[in-house]
Structure 1
């Protein structure tokens, strides 16, 4: 019974944070407000997540993880081209940008990734380790750098400051795709 209450409280906290963040800026939403919105004890966020940052990171993984997990597992298992991997990454970004709740998730993702919040993501596709082997002609360090730059660019274009309400045209998405693929597949300038 206690586990059901705990899971229910966790879900209520995630939903409350999501509702509040739809209308208020991240810095303006307090832990106390999230707990009040969820009808939970004022210490519930700290008990279930440790901090507001951890709560929001969990929210992002819960909401965005399923969009990428199956798609990326399929393309990487099939050993497809880098361009096809980039397509699998970009498709959910385009879909999220068309939805107000999706735009919130993109904005929060941008804040976390571009703000360099130090956090250990739980899901594999949120961690750089899952990506480094996908560039076969490039060493691990160079692969990490390239993927980090690629994700910074993608996340900045879809969720960074100034993107609210701005729709990316098909041509802009195609140009972004081509640019990311070119950067990931460029000949290695890595020192050996």
Structure 2
């Protein structure tokens, strides 16, 4: 299995911390955040990853130049058009992948949940997503389930139950999601959202 890390966003909400560097390079104890994410993915046994970069791409590439545990390819998202567009930037890297891990590059995470997700999908599922129970679902993408299976993901809904299952930004997806990403419209935020592509895939 291959892995894709989406690390093209600027992180405007973190200004002024991100005025001169992408949020993915903010330090977490002794290392930049993006390195922590790469290390977690590497611990799953995945040997080939693509990091989609955009804002501050040269700095991210420089920060990872000495990471040799796995093979790292970089793809550039030319415009900030959302997470679905970012994933499409890695399409050539994914040309021979039936399924792949996708992780948002601004997460603080451990490898074990990634391993568990991959293990479950390998039982015969088309894909999977990690959800987290959260009391402030309105701030996130909320996962809707039907009989334990994904029904849709709604970005920052107007109304939500008190304890919602939110999107963690960690997926295993089939390659068909790339075609779904090409068929979605821009969200209210003016971006092509990966959550919309996943929902489109489920609906189809």
TM-score exceeds 0.5: no
**Structure 1 or 2: more helix by fraction:** 1
Pair member with larger Rg: 1
Length-normalised TM-score, structure 1: 0.27
Length-normalised TM-score, structure 2: 0.26
